[in-house]
Amino acid sequence: MSIPREAPADDYGLVVLRSPARYRELVRAHPEQALLSLPAVVPGLRLDIRYATPHNLLGRPLYPQPAAYLRQPAAEALGQVQQALRRQDVGLVVYDAYRPYSATVALYQAVQDEHYAAPPWRGSRHNRGCAVDVGLVKLSTGQPLPMPTDFDALSPAAHTSFEPVSSLVRRHRTLLLTTMQAHGFQNYPGEWWHYDYARWGEFGLLDLPFSAL
Ligand SMILES: [Zn+2]
The full set of domains in the chain, from first to last, is 16-212 (3.30.1380.10)
Q: How far is the CA of 151 from the centre of ligand 1 (A)?
A: 9
Can you tell me the mean pLDDT for 134-163? 95
- Has 194 been labeled as part of a binding site? yes
The crossing angle, in degrees rounded to 10, of helices 72-86 and 167-182 is 130
Residues lining ligand 1 (ion), CB within 5 A?
133, 194
Where does the pLDDT of residue 8 fall: very low under 50, low under 70, confident under 90, or very high at 90 and above? low
pLDDT at residue 23 tops 60: yes
Q: How far is the CA of 33 from the centre of ligand 1 (A)?
A: 20
Q: How far is the CA of 125 from the centre of ligand 1 (A)?
A: 8
Where does the pLDDT of residue 43 fall: very low under 50, low under 70, confident under 90, or very high at 90 and above? very high
Tens of pLDDT, residues 81-112: 999 999 999 999 999 999 999 999 998 988 88
- Has 126 been labeled as part of a binding site? yes
Q: Active site residue: 6, 25, 114, 191, which one? A: 191
What pLDDT is stored for residue 53 in this prediction?
A: 96
CB 91 within 8 A of CB 145: no
Q: How far is the CA of 65 from the centre of ligand 1 (A)?
A: 18
Where does the pLDDT of residue 119 fall: very low under 50, low under 70, confident under 90, or very high at 90 and above? very high
| Number of helices followed by number of strands (H, E) in the chain | 5, 9
Is 191 tagged catalytic?
yes
Q: How far is the CA of 29 from the centre of ligand 1 (A)?
A: 28
Can you tell me the mean pLDDT for 156-182? 98
Closest to 67 measured CA to CA, from 211, 196, 203, 181: 211
